[in-house]
Structure 1
């Protein structure tokens, strides 16, 4: 029987290492892995791909990503390319001038390091857009920049109290300054007009094309639901699945409303049933335990430091009561839900692991595959617990490098000891933990090859600065495994993530063999071809 698709003439990344040079695909499955003997499977209708020395590997999978908000931001006021406050304001002014019909100026993606203290002011926006409300989340979506008109519409004044789960930044006189942190974002975000269903679907399909071009064949959407004014992607996924336009395989993490408790669990069960269709499965629950270190909301075991290096009273925020978390996780686990934790600070990491441990004690072994995302600061005592509890470490490698947001807004406020515990990829792997990898796009680039570059080098692509904690570097094979088999595991896509007979033919051809070059050049690698189920979904021009 002839194959439908045949790859020949290049290295193949197999589960046991690069030990093949040819792969045959029939239908949507891999039917043979070998060498030149597979040439006999080529028939008159076989698509033959000459690898010409390029690496063939399983499709990349992003274990933590937000494609619909990313797609929407690309069509709104996109500040991801702005490097300074001046560039950011100029981009806002240009967008507002080009869209005089927009009642709100929406978008985002600004970087905290572009502004003094990481907190841009309303006056900067007022100079660009004085007459319409502006709402612009930053690149990590844990803070938003607003103008005076937006503050006025939301009724935010000097005497407005901070919400329990957020903070209104204020100037020296006590007036709201124009930056809203965490839960305070919702004070304005809930007033902004939501994207239409058509807009969300278009954003999803635009994002999908972009992700396929980066070799991504599957992902876990890390937030399906309503959160701080972000547009719920659920209907877009269901529509795309029904219409057959969802070519990727997607697992959705349903949002755990942190203002509620266990009473929402039956609703999550119903959403799982309603939304799971075609290539979309809503079998996970997203539990955001804390915030981010840059704005002092990541939950830490010990207090943050001030600018003088002295301990403050701030240990960050726990958005879900740690005393109740074990109960919630145990109930979700018993119902077959995977728990996907946002855990950035060492206290949040410990709370998540304690909850997983409680679920194991209550329910016994299960195949729910909990995973903890971000893991910026991990206490050494908790590193071996990942392997012991079967909790996957879901890493975002692009963040593990020296850059202004790290060097100016994080390290000084953590102190030397905690700063040396950041993003401990190597320690986790050595302890036996399973690694998965993701981008958190639009927080950072979704390009897996950029992330792999940082995981291996601990230096930003194109950077020549000092290596960030070199003992935590991964080798190339382990980094690739995290982005393929590791993420496939947390996505419950057991027929993917490997090049083996019987596996689904979700495959990527790179433009070279990265094993043949220096690690410093990894970021120069690009994707040539992407296949999902044996069907080509991207080809480089």
Structure 2
């Protein structure tokens, strides 16, 4: 961004002039200038009245007519995302064939000759065919690379592990291994041998590489730089007590002045472990690690699996192409009474719930469980949420509004994904796939929606890709998908149910004020208003007044966090 500005922007007094500021306040007002002092916004208005805030030492930035939006909130993300894989593992993200996967693994082994176990992630089920489409890839593909070194690879969605024969031996897995509740060890029925994949909770049989706290912190700093480049200043982090970024790592980053994001922490609990003890442990974490920029607010529950693994729980059976017969619905991971009591105990202890639910059968059961506790919900302000929502029964959509449930969606997926939709969703769901991922249906019922990437499931969590997808329900970032770009919003090749399109404003709100609401920060961030923290971004185009298929081209020029520039484009 070629702007004229003063030096030494660490000064508390900053004024930005000559901008087009979409405030996302209650009136959706548009202003021209902003004044900042001590991390917060002290004025939003016009270029004339801003002059009284310009003192001798005030730093003045001329935005040259560029657009300002609130900082983005990703309300379902897994830090440090792909950064761990990029730094320490073999990355398969963005590769589009088995041969490319094999080549990447071989290169990694060549560069790391002393590696004891090859860990990695990012492979996609969509590149496989036949039985591998349902079961996942066979172990023999990886055996071609090595029968001496264990190879363990996570699918891009994190719900399936792909292993070679040596890895099965290393971790003592055979066809008789007891599988955890909700998990599945795929078997080759023709040979009565292991197929090559572990699904859902079965992946926890594998002893994942234990990265040090310092390695996690290094990866988080890489992750944070990427988020700032995309204009993301706050997140709802999905983590666990036994894996992922530890609260102490965040605390150390905060104390060292390296934490430049607002983290609302969500910790997962499991249905096959003692519920009360898990929640009590999270209460201790909340009390011990209560920082200005890091707070544990939410408990995550996993209600079902995923469509591509045939583990999401549906109201109607999967198609026979799923390889599970003619009467297979997937699996709901909770007993109804236990789920009801779990939600009650979470809310009684002032935790919101954030429930992974992909199938329409699963979402119905989750809504039923919330409804049993709704009297408690009416007494206190919870931000209970159901996320993913690939299939939702029309009658259940209005229940979100009735029960004050937030719909947390991932608009990046709301298209007919190249090399995916035809090969996976439609084959497993049939015509139901044409109506998956409702969006406008939630808006019409007055449901609060928040948007997120589920990164690293979405490797490049650029909010402007998601905004375009939500508005067009069509292809974005064609280069990543390896296909020819579209030049018409109604191009039918990748268009998924255009009746579910929503406005640019609704999409922006899902990433700003609605996201802030979901993490109890709506009085602090999410809009550009006096008294709120100065979290906002300067971008190079007016996404409200361009062809929607060009929204993806939007670049963040500057990202402000707490009134400090944490990212500035070199272009």
Q: TM-score, normalised by structure 1?
A: 0.95
Contact 2:450/2:511 (8 A) holds in 1: yes
2-structure distance, mates of 1:472, 1:260: 39
Paired residue for 1:352?
A: 366
Paired residue for 1:196?
A: 212
- CA offset digits 1:424-456 (Å, max 9, x no partner): 110001100001111000000211111111111
Q: Secondary structure at the match of 1:412?
A: helix
Structure 1 residue 162, shift from structure 2 partner: 4.3
Mean CA deviation greater in 160-169 or 375-384: 160-169
Match status 1:530 vs 2:530: no
2-structure distance, mates of 1:466, 1:153: 42
Match status 1:177 vs 2:195: yes
2-structure distance, mates of 1:131, 1:517: 55
Mean CA deviation greater in 499-508 or 128-137: 128-137
Paired residue for 2:336?
A: 322
1:362-377 alignment runs, 5 A limit: 362=376, 364-377=378-391
Mind listing any 5+ residue stretches in structure 1 that lack a counterpart?
A: none
Paired residue for 1:225?
A: 241
Contact 1:79/1:108 (8 A) holds in 2: yes
1-structure distance, mates of 2:268, 2:564: 32
Which of the residues 492, 504, 515 maps onto 2:533? 504
Match status 1:410 vs 2:425: yes
1:33/1:231 CA distance change after superposition, 3 Å? closer
Which of the residues 147, 164, 170 maps onto 1:130? 147
Mind listing any 5+ residue stretches in structure 2 that lack a counterpart?
A: 1-10, 479-484, 487-492
Q: Secondary structure at the match of 1:67?
A: coil
Paired residue for 2:317?
A: 303
Structure 1 residue 309, shift from structure 2 partner: 11
1-structure distance, mates of 2:40, 2:17: 17
Contact 2:322/2:428 (8 A) holds in 1: no
Structure 1 residue 279, shift from structure 2 partner: 0.7
2-structure distance, mates of 1:278, 1:22: 27
Match status 1:151 vs 2:151: no
Structure 1 residue 343, shift from structure 2 partner: 1.0
Contact 1:62/1:438 (8 A) holds in 2: yes
Q: Secondary structure at the match of 1:250?
A: strand
Which of the residues 9, 17, 26 maps onto 2:37? 26
Structure 1 residue 298, shift from structure 2 partner: 0.8
Q: TM-score, normalised by structure 2?
A: 0.90
Paired residue for 1:458?
A: 473
Contact 2:186/2:194 (8 A) holds in 1: yes
Which of the residues 293, 299, 308 maps onto 1:285? 299
Match status 1:244 vs 2:257: yes
Structure 1 residue 54, shift from structure 2 partner: 1.7
1:63/1:243 CA distance change after superposition, 3 Å? same
Match status 1:429 vs 2:481: no
Mean CA deviation greater in 166-175 or 484-493: 166-175
2-structure distance, mates of 1:83, 1:196: 31
Which of the residues 55, 59, 62 maps onto 1:47? 59
1:377-526 alignment runs, 5 A limit: 377-403=391-417, 404-416=419-431, 418-444=432-458, 445-461=460-476, 462=478, 463-464=485-486, 465-494=493-522, 495-526=524-555
Q: Secondary structure at the match of 1:486?
A: helix
1-structure distance, mates of 2:141, 2:64: 53
Aligned residue pairs: how many?
534
Paired residue for 2:273?
A: 260
2-structure distance, mates of 1:511, 1:193: 41
| Runs of 4+ residues deviating >6 angstroms | 308-311
Contact 1:287/1:340 (8 A) holds in 2: yes
Contact 1:96/1:129 (8 A) holds in 2: no
Contact 1:395/1:435 (8 A) holds in 2: yes
